[in-house]
Structure 1
Amino acid sequence: MNNFFERLDAALGSLVGFLWGPPLVTLLVGGGLFFLLYSRLLPYRHLPDGVRLLFRPADSKDEGTLSHFQALSTALSGTLGMGNVAGVAVAISVGGPGAIFWMWVSAILGIATKFYTCTLAVMYRGRDSEGQLQGGPMYIIREALGPRWRPLAYFFALAGLLGTMPIFQVNQLTEIIREAIAVPAGWTGADDHFLFDLLFGLLLAAVVLAVVAGKLPRIGRVTGILVPAMVAGYMLLTAVVLVLHADQVWPALTLIVRDAFTGEAAAGGVLGAVIITGIRRAAFSNEAGIGTEAMAHGAARTREPVREGMVAMLGPIIDTLIVCTCTALVILISGAWSDGDTNGVSLTVNAFNILFLDYSGVILAVLVGVLSLSTVFTFWYYGSKCLGFLIGARHQHHYVWFYLVLVVLGAVGSLSVVIKVIDSMYALMALPTMVASLRLAPRVNQAARAYFARSRDDD
């Protein structure tokens, strides 16, 4: 059995290396740069408008399911959590401190990317087989590009079905609960923990079933409460740690920038590998250009697509530029990253324990655990919509049983295999999302000009 998993891990590693090669990185980074220049910095010039729109009440006459705030919270719940805690730790372990710099670059460009992809998600919403209004790259392609492009829509839906599996979030949530709470309490051993992982996975499956039974409105309400509260709690915890070690913050930032152009700390000194690691982890963190977030923003209750694009572009700022940076600074200042003994969420827990208090891992486990659960809830929504597009919306409710099995498997699975499966699917999702968005970018610019002209007239 061990040989099988070793061969699987090696095969997936080769697939990830192929998919996340220079062509895809060029598509994501070059596409983001194109959006930035083509828009004439429009998303960046209207960031305050995006913040104000969060608190704008939705018109009851508008089509859609979620308010602007709920749509952003739902989209963020799919990114905030393990991507910001375990994902950052993986980036530093694999690509060194310099990988964080390239995460920043990807996030800055991702602001423009999200403006385009999520504006399109509302512009080209479509009806599923049950007549319900839906958004997302598969509907953008179907509604805007016509029958010849339809295979690309199915390609995204299939990759999205597999890419939104909850296995990474559940795997790392299980690990942080086990290492921070269960092992110190004597509930399980540090090495022999399969039974604990299995039981915890079954418990998570029961919680997920209770929440997703309420479908998207309940998920929107839950994430609208959990995400802001837990992000505030996590930011408070990291702020306390960084204030206590304020003299080390600037050296850590300097290390990130210096290593970004040398690649000396990891990847055998290969700069290209450091860049790719940063871009890959940023994609996992904020999903700009991947397309999943467009499914959440496509459900917003609004008649103005550009408004939702402006709300969506706040995601990379909150997710990567703020939360991920705080996590990276804690890890780098602690020095825990340099011994190479831990990876993923365990590295972040060790960093907090070194810098703060021995029981800070328990606080972290609670905060990240709740954020991770919100991601699991959101990923169920994404996956079910992808399945509904593939086989018909009347059958998508069956997805929940497959999803619950994935929750249990994620709890007992191998971190290395889990990361590589998700990375592969994210790469495949990005291809149709970016191709369609680049093709339709002129229509977004046209809609933006019309929207801001109306706004000036209203003023």
Structure 2
Amino acid sequence: MERLNSIFSVFSEFAWGLPLLILLVGGGLYLIIRSQFLPFRYLGHAIKVLRGKFDDPNDSGEISHFKALTTALSSTIGMGNISGVALAIAIGGPGAVFWMWISAVIGMSTKFFTSSLAILYRGKDSAGELQGGPMYFIVEGLGKNWKFLAIMFSFFGMLGALPVVNVNQLKQAINDIILIPNGVEVNLTTNLIIAGVLVIFTSIVVLGGLKRISNWASKMVPSMVVLYFILVLIILVVNFSEVPKYLAMIVTDAFNADYYPKDKPFLGGVLGALILHGIKRGAFSNEAGLGTAAMAHGAAKTNEPIREGLVAMLGPAIDTLIVCTLTALAILVTGVWETTNTNGVSLTAAAFQSAMPGFGQYLLMICVFVFSVSSLFSYAYYGNKCLSFLIGAKRKHYYNYLYIASIILAATTDFKAMINFIDGVFALMAIPTMTATLILAPKVIRASKIYFNKLKSEN
């Protein structure tokens, strides 16, 4: 186990070097400046599009703007917010949250461009079905000479879509919230039993394609989001006097890195390492610049690329600026980040238990379960699309077997190994996505001018 942890740690550190930070953050800043802050100037219009004001049933695509956004958010709102934020604070302290905010603001512009491109350059798979996503806008927008980038994205996207962090954190939540408090000894056998149950359930969903299960989950997720919001707000109300203090600390601690391990410098110092840590956790939370969300938004029923880009832009704002901030404050105001050695979902559970003794962690467990199960659908969709691009639509179902097998690995492996694996893979997904996006950015800006000029003339 230690060897696996070490391998994935080296892999993550190698992938998240200075070149990637320049590409992801520098590239995102370039897109903001190059577009003259265009996405942010049309937030109101984005909300109108999301509400369905411009929906046309005759447009190409499969799902509405709203469903495209909720599909993308279903893989990020949940464990990325519950365990990712906890990990950010456990390692980097309150200051890490500030760099997650910066990642989200930059990510809003990045998602505008990647998702606009996903519609602007849709392609057809081997079955003749219209598809969107980085692999298609690379080939359709840049030409076949750039196909190696599309292959790179699809290969690492296939690995990045494996539900290893979700399953690992669901297993940890079951152990820490249900089994251990009730005197059950947690070992390899209990973890394998949990993995077995999840394998059976996932097999029914992924292999059997039972629509009623996915319909049930899609109806449950919004209610779980509401429940999670209410629970976090209760924690903040109970500890309201601490909220201003920690909001200020998030900003001030962003520049001193007192809590970050001194043995992991980056860019010549510990502050650089804290910034990198916050950016990584932000990317894990909102997936901006990675390309996964572009696959969901590429299926939107629209013939206007800019509309979908504006809707996609709302994702990081909802996911990181709102949900992650609420989770971070819940962890900070209860003080559990300083009094416990737990990490990931267990740290968030400790915050809920501290504020609502006796039942808080069980309500969180319900949210974690539904979030984890719902994400199984969206991640499987992403992975199937990636394999379909690589070996053809008729053979994309083979991905389901890899997907299910990864559940056993995730349930029996340390959290650090799984998060390092996903961090590294996400980094390698970002390279082709951001490279193509930066090259094709002028096309999006040109399409934006045409779209907004047309909008003004109609009004």
Shorter-normalised TM range: over 0.9
Give the CA deviation at 1:221: 5.2
CA distance in 2, matches of 1:346, 1:390: 38
SS of 1:389 mapped into structure 2: helix
Q: Which amino acid aligns with 2:407?
A: V
1:19 aligns with one of 15, 18, 24: 15
SS of 1:303 mapped into structure 2: coil
Q: Does 1:212 align with 2:209?
A: no
Change (3 A) 1:216 1:99: farther
Tell me, yes or no, if the aligned pair for 2:217 and 2:370 is still in contact at 8 Å.
no
Give the CA deviation at 1:86: 0.5
Cα RMSD (Å): 1.8
Which residue of 2 is the match for residue 146 of structure 1?
143
Tell me, yes or no, if the aligned pair for 1:161 and 1:387 is still in contact at 8 Å.
yes
Tell me, yes or no, if the aligned pair for 1:56 and 1:68 is still in contact at 8 Å.
yes
Tell me, yes or no, if the aligned pair for 1:197 and 1:412 is still in contact at 8 Å.
yes
For residues 158-195 of structure 1, the C-alpha deviation after alignment (integer angstroms, 9 at most, x for no partner) is: 01011111010001011112221233344x32xx3333
Change (3 A) 1:196 1:289: same
Tell me, yes or no, if the aligned pair for 2:133 and 2:298 is still in contact at 8 Å.
yes
Q: Does 1:404 align with 2:404?
A: yes
For residues 263-285 of structure 1, the C-alpha deviation after alignment (integer angstroms, 9 at most, x for no partner) is: 01122281011000000000000
Q: Where in structure 2 are the equivalents of 1:247-258 lying within 5 Å? A: 247-258=241-252
Give the CA deviation at 1:53: 1.5
Q: Which runs of 5+ in 2 are unaligned?
A: 263-268
Q: Where in structure 2 are the equivalents of 1:90-239 lying within 5 Å? A: 90-186=87-183, 188-189=184-185, 192-213=186-207, 224-239=218-233
CA distance in 1, matches of 2:80, 2:5: 21
SS of 1:314 mapped into structure 2: helix
Q: Where in structure 2 are the equivalents of 1:317-332 lying within 5 Å? A: 317-332=317-332
Deviates more, 1:354-363 or 1:305-314: 354-363
Q: Does 1:34 align with 2:30?
A: yes
Change (3 A) 1:221 1:62: farther
SS of 2:365 mapped into structure 1: helix
TM-score normalised to structure 2 length: 0.94
CA distance in 2, matches of 1:165, 1:427: 15
Give the CA deviation at 1:304: 0.8
SS of 1:61 mapped into structure 2: coil
Change (3 A) 1:270 1:347: same
Deviates more, 1:449-458 or 1:200-209: 200-209
CA distance in 2, matches of 1:216, 1:252: 45
Q: Which amino acid aligns with 2:40?
A: Y
For residues 54-94 of structure 1, the C-alpha deviation after alignment (integer angstroms, 9 at most, x for no partner) is: 22174222221111111111100111111101101111112
Q: Which amino acid aligns with 1:18?
A: F
Give the CA deviation at 1:134: 0.9
Q: Does 1:85 align with 2:82?
A: yes
Change (3 A) 1:220 1:450: farther
Which residue of 2 is the match for residue 451 of structure 1?
451
For residues 243-289 of structure 1, the C-alpha deviation after alignment (integer angstroms, 9 at most, x for no partner) is: 11111001111111111000011222810110000000000000000
TM-score normalised to structure 1 length: 0.94
Give the total of aligned pairs: 452
Tell me, yes or no, if the aligned pair for 2:214 and 2:377 is still in contact at 8 Å.
no
Give the CA deviation at 1:211: 3.1
Give the CA deviation at 1:219: 9.1
Which residue of 1 is the match for residue 306 of structure 2?
306
Give the CA deviation at 1:204: 2.1
Give the CA deviation at 1:215: 6.0
Tell me, yes or no, if the aligned pair for 2:11 and 2:421 is still in contact at 8 Å.
no
CA distance in 2, matches of 1:130, 1:84: 36
Deviates more, 1:254-263 or 1:212-221: 212-221
Q: Which amino acid aligns with 2:130?
A: L
Which residue of 1 is the match for residue 5 of structure 2?
9
Which residue of 2 is the match for residue 343 of structure 1?
343
Which residue of 2 is the match for residue 442 of structure 1?
442
Q: Which amino acid aligns with 1:36?
A: I
Tell me, yes or no, if the aligned pair for 1:111 and 1:313 is still in contact at 8 Å.
yes
Deviates more, 1:323-332 or 1:201-210: 201-210
SS of 2:162 mapped into structure 1: coil
Deviates more, 1:225-234 or 1:149-158: 225-234
SS of 1:62 mapped into structure 2: coil
CA distance in 2, matches of 1:436, 1:223: 35
Which residue of 2 is the match for residue 271 of structure 1?
271
For residues 192-227 of structure 1, the C-alpha deviation after alignment (integer angstroms, 9 at most, x for no partner) is: 333332222222223323333576988985665343
Which residue of 2 is the match for residue 54 of structure 1?
50
CA distance in 2, matches of 1:352, 1:428: 35
Q: Which amino acid aligns with 1:163?
A: G
Q: Which amino acid aligns with 1:364?
A: L
CA distance in 2, matches of 1:105, 1:240: 27
Q: Which runs of 5+ in 1 are unaligned?
A: none
Tell me, yes or no, if the aligned pair for 2:80 and 2:284 is still in contact at 8 Å.
yes
Which residue of 2 is the match for residue 63 of structure 1?
60
Tell me, yes or no, if the aligned pair for 2:246 and 2:333 is still in contact at 8 Å.
yes
Q: Where in structure 2 are the equivalents of 1:371-386 lying within 5 Å? A: 371-386=371-386
Give the CA deviation at 1:232: 1.5
Q: Does 1:261 align with 2:258?
A: no
